[in-house]
Amino acid sequence: MARWIADAIPLIGWLKRHLERVFHHEISVWLHRLVLLAVSLVCVHFHAIRYIVTVTPFIVISDVATDGVDVDVLPPYGRYHRFLDERGLDDHGETRPIVVFAGGIGITPLLPIIFRYGYGRRPVKVMYCAHDEAGLLCCGQLEAWSRRTGNPLTLKVGRFTVGELQSAVTPGAIYLIAGPTGMTHAVKRTLRKTGVSVEDICHEPFAW
């Protein structure tokens, strides 16, 4: 069940929480795999039936992507690299600081950013929290990165306090946020209250 729908509609959110007690994450993953298989079979089915193939407009519409067509892959939206590129940040030439706030599996889309931009002269600060220790992913990699680069890394079980969030505010920085919807809203709200421009914040809900 789409997370953003569950967050937007309380009744669906309540239903999702109760269903999760029975249908665990592994079941959800297999359902998604079955959907992909079904879509693939439908595509093959379209092209195997002669009278459907002759309906050119239908085939053109169903074949959204063909050879040579540029396709943006956005997981879940994939805006972080684009967001940084739009602000003129490259790998080495720009020294504008980046502050990363991650919650739980929200660290996943931010790891490439941390490891790509967090070397050289650019300061990159990482604030990462989760509900429990098991939810803190890739800690070894992050700690090794922090030791090599000298960039600050804060790992915490439980949410960051307002004071901790405020202490991470860095003059002139760009802020990247990913995690559960409540966490992303709380971080963004704190940043805005401390005077950070909305133009310098990129956030995406990222949770099961």
State pLDDT tens for residues 116-157: 888 877 899 999 999 999 899 999 999 999 999 999 999 999
Residues 6+ apart with CB under 8 A from 121: 92, 95
Domains and CATH numbers, the chain: 3-62 (no CATH), 80-205 (3.40.50.80)
pTM of the model: 0.67
Give the residue ranges of DSSP H helices in 49-174: 50-53, 56-62, 80-86, 111-117, 139-149, 162-167
pLDDT tens column, 157-200: 999 999 999 999 999 999 999 998 889 999 999 999 999 999 99
**Predicted local distance difference test score (pLDDT) of residue 1:** 47
Of 66, 131, 144, the C-alpha closest to 102 is 131
- The lowest-confidence range among 3-12, 101-110, 178-187 is 3-12
> 101 or 6: whose pLDDT is higher?
101
**Residue labelled with tokens 């509609």:** 9
User: Strands, E, within 107-158: which ranges?
Assistant: 124-130, 153-157
